[in-house]
Structure 1
Amino acid sequence: MNAHHERRLDGDREDEGARVIPLDSARSDGHRRGPDERGALERGIASGLAFLRRRIAGEYEVDEFGYDPDFNAAVMLPVARALYERWFRVELLGLDNVPEKGGALLVANHSGTVPLDGLMLSVAVHDHADRALRLLGADLVYQLPLLGHLSRKAGHTLACPADAARLLGKGELVGVFPEGFKGVGKPFADRYKLQRFGRGGFVETALRAGVPIIPCAIVGAEEIYPKIADLRPLARLLGLPYFPITPTFPLLGAAGLLPLPSKWMIRFGEPMPLEEYGEDAADDPMTVFNITDHVRENVQQMLYDTLLRRGPAFF
């Protein structure tokens, strides 16, 4: 939570007929702050100071993947939470399908041109299921120094079988977007139509780890940056998978980077247990293909159902 630096105007003189209100009890619209607002501000300041003391004293832990729960809770999540609660107004469905403990692989659709869906999913799981979601990210994320560093601080890691297996073996809840950049960068005309789910690597990982797959449908991300064109020569020059043109970017410059305030819904499907397939199923390409296709069909059907439930995108 951000704490606004405020200063009293004790030395100012009152104009005739006017009354000076100290800024610590007033809002910018001239009305007094209520007890709840003042209490929230004081808690925010106290929380920020406590965080700084812990960092200076070294009283925090970082795991083998670089996950820093203290930094994530104090810095990363509050920023994402503001979008989650006030901008996208996220609604959750099927939260009981997220296990309270133990390893599981959460498999979701990916979209939005800029992948904010991963951030919103992390907030949802952290705040409402009381678990850390360890997302598996593309190589490009970790090739960018600042983004890669922050991603690891938030508990995420490279989308490779070894890291995924280690996390699942520790009983973590791991999240993956099998569509990758094909999903997040698809044209607006193809919204909510799932792309290919890779080669089934996530299914092999779940089979070897003996954990269930939880299908997840995210509705709302497709409308935040509607991609209407792609400057591929510029994308190749910058080493990016695509360079999007949207109705607001680059036409409006930096203002065009503000996501549109679409209404979001996130639905968690029933866990898909994999024990029945046996120990050697991960080495059978046909079994892996069939499970992959089944997961994809589940997520696609959940998307259609959730779209109908949400209704208009911006109301």
Structure 2
Amino acid sequence: MGDAEIIPIGTRGRPGRGTGKQPSSAARGLAPGARSASAKPAPRSSAGSTAGSTAGSAGTAAAKRSAQRPAHDEPQATAQVPVEHPVEPPVDRPAATTRDRAPMSGIPASDWLAAIQHGAREVFGEQWEPQLASFLAFLRRRVTGDYLVDEYGFDQEVTERFLMATLRPIAEKWFRIEVRGVENIPTEGGALVVSNHSGTIPVDGLMTLVSIHDHTGRFLRPLGADLVFRLPFVSSLARKSGATLACAEDAERMLTSGELVGVWPEGFKGIGKPYSERYKLQRFGRGGFVAAALRTGVPIIPLSVVGAEEIYPLVGNVPSLARLLGLPYLPITPFFPALGPLGLVPLPSKWLLEFGEPIRTDELDVGAADDPMLVFNVTDQVRETIQQTLYTLLMQRESVFK
């Protein structure tokens, strides 16, 4: 340690500096006395010029030496003079209360009304006020009982406002139903629409109902099986939508009163057939629908539906469990019951509905409905017309989902 060269702080390692005789300018800048001296404001002369610091001869010499050195050699110490701000006296403010912090405090009622109107316009469009008034009038009629229901339980207002509004997006967006031959449906008077039945679940009946209403404005009155009217919720909805029990008496009464009646003669054998037998019509029963048309003299309109076979491909059945539950069959599809409730979502197949030319019955003799051979021939004619149209539509359809 005796032979080592001691370099004081502030010399930046240059030899020949910091010999111990006098401190360097950087070291003097770190000294407390020098900083306090440089922080003092310089006095003004009578001529207005600023004089140097008069803190002593040592301070004057140090200032001269600092001015002679390059700017990059030594850092310049800058003194900051604290600025004193006037202190405002404390102001007594009232404490905030819960009422002052309420969410609706201070917002005028007109602003709330404008916000509600803007939101209703965004959701319901510019005609939201008439729609709201119509809905409130509907609720008033429901509460007071001022609405009409026919002898079969058909509620036109509920069917048009809720059932049709629910089924229409499914028919247009999901199944993309294409309707052909709608001009074969009479605009008024009784008529019997006879259709093939498929789909594991009778969705085709609902799609036929909404398609006929959207294209003709008429309400289809379906003839349902006994099981439909034994189910708790389904029976009430079926009655309100215009369905009635599939019996000859009700069918003839509706046709005589000028209603458009729909029937699916295949029944559960049609919707419950396996996927390998798709688009192959089952037996049409004993021709009871033909006898009803012959007695009332209304035309028979064959309807062919393509697309319903693919919504729930039936690959299996559990007959023992179905009998225990009182069901005609218990379907097994590729997605149900494997995926649970998600398996109940129908596949988005492409649907084609074609109404054939009406088969007239008013030209036949009185009592034709009591002739078994005539009833059988007309029944077979309707079945063959639907079957041949199904084959034609299958050839025209590009793919199942297009």
TM-score, scaled relative to structure 2: 0.69
Secondary structure, in 3 states, of the residue corresponding to 1:282? Answer: helix
Q: How does 1:287-298 map to 2 (within 5 A)?
A: 287-298=374-385
Written as runs of structure 1 = structure 2, the 5 A alignment for 1:94-109 is 94-109=181-196
Provide structure 1 residue ranges, at least 5 long, that are not aligned to the other structure. Answer: 1-9, 12-21, 27-32
C-alpha contact 1:90 1:265 (8 A) present in aligned 2: yes
Are residue 178 (structure 1) and residue 255 (structure 2) matched?
no
Report which structure shows greater RCO (CA 8 Å, sep ≥6): 1
8 Å Cα contact 1:224/1:259 also seen in 2: yes
The residue that corresponds to 1:277 in the other structure is 364
Counterpart of 1:67? 154
AA at the equivalent of 1:69: Q
Q: 2:354 aligns with which of 235, 255, 267?
A: 267
Give 1:226-241 correspondences, 5 Å limit. Answer: 226-241=313-328
In the alignment, is residue 311 of structure 1 matched against residue 402 of structure 2? Answer: no
* Aligned-partner Cα distance in 1 for 2:286–2:172: 35
From 324, 337, 345, the equivalent of 1:250 is 337
Matches of 1:132 and 1:38, distance apart in 2: 28
Query: Aligned partners of 2:386, 2:128: CA distance in 1, in Å?
Result: 41
Given that 2:121 and 2:128 are in contact with CA atoms closer than 8 Å, whether structure 1 keeps it comes out as no
Tell me the distance in 1 between the aligned counterparts of 2:128 and 2:316. 43
Once the two structures are overlaid, the 10-residue window that deviates more, 295-304 or 40-49, is: 40-49
1: distance between equivalents of 2:226 and 2:280? Answer: 24
Task: Return closer, same or farther for 1:227/1:282 CA change in 2, 3 Å cut-off.
Answer: same
Tell me the distance in 2 between the aligned counterparts of 1:71 and 1:86. Answer: 22
- Between the aligned partners of 2:201 and 2:131, the Cα distance in structure 1 is 29
Q: What amino acid maps onto 2:152 in structure 1? A: F
Match of 2:212 among 102, 125, 129: 125
CA shift, 1:277, in A, is: 2.4
Cα offsets for 1:213-253 (capped at 9, x unmatched):
00001111101000000011110110000000001100000
Kept in 2: contact 1:25–1:38 (CA 8 A): no
The answer for the alignment partner of 1:137 in structure 2 is 224
Who is 1:193 aligned against? 280
Secondary structure of 1:183 counterpart: helix
Cα 1:24–1:262, aligned 2, differ >3 Å: closer, same or farther? farther
Corresponding pairs, count: 290
Consecutive unaligned residues of structure 2, counting only runs of 5 or more, are 1-102, 105-114
Identity between Structure 1 and Structure 2 (%): 57
How far off is 1:23 after superposition?
A: 10
Separation in 1, partners of 2:148, 2:130? 23
Hey, what's the Cα distance between the residues in 1 that align with 2:362 and 2:395? Answer: 33
Structure number with larger C-alpha Rg: 2
Q: Distance in 2 between matches of 1:230 and 1:125?
A: 33
Greater alpha carbon shift after TM alignment, 64-73 vs 77-86: 77-86
Query: Residue type of the partner of 2:327?
Result: L
Alignment match of 2:167 (pick from 73, 80, 86): 80
Q: TM-score, normalised by structure 1?
A: 0.87
* 8 Å contact kept, 1:214–1:272: yes
Tell me the CA shift for residue 131 of structure 1: 0.4
Q: Distance in 2 between matches of 1:44 and 1:259?
A: 32
Post-superposition Cα deviations, 1:84-132, rounded to whole Å, max 9, x if no partner, equal: 1111111100010010000010000000000001100000111111101
Shift in CA distance, 264/50, structure 1 to aligned 2, threshold 3 Å? farther
What amino acid sits opposite 2:361 in the alignment? L
Could you tell me how far 1:56 is from its partner in structure 2?
Answer: 1.5
User: CA, structure 1 residues 52+37, in 2 after alignment: closer, same or farther (shift >3 Å)?
Assistant: closer
Q: 1:184 to 1:46 in 2, by over 3 A?
A: farther
Partner secondary structure for residue 188 of structure 2: coil
When structure 1 is superposed on structure 2, of 197-206 and 33-42 the one drifting more is 33-42
* 1:5 paired residue number: none
Which of 52, 68, 74 in structure 1 is aligned with 2:139? 52
Deviations 1:186-212 (A, max 9, x none): 111111110000110000000001111
Deviation at 1:307, TM superposition (A): 1.8
Matching residue of 1:169: 256
Q: CA RMSD in A?
A: 2.1
Superposed displacement of residue 57, structure 1: 2.7
Distance between the aligned counterparts of 1:40 and 1:117, measured in 2?
A: 34
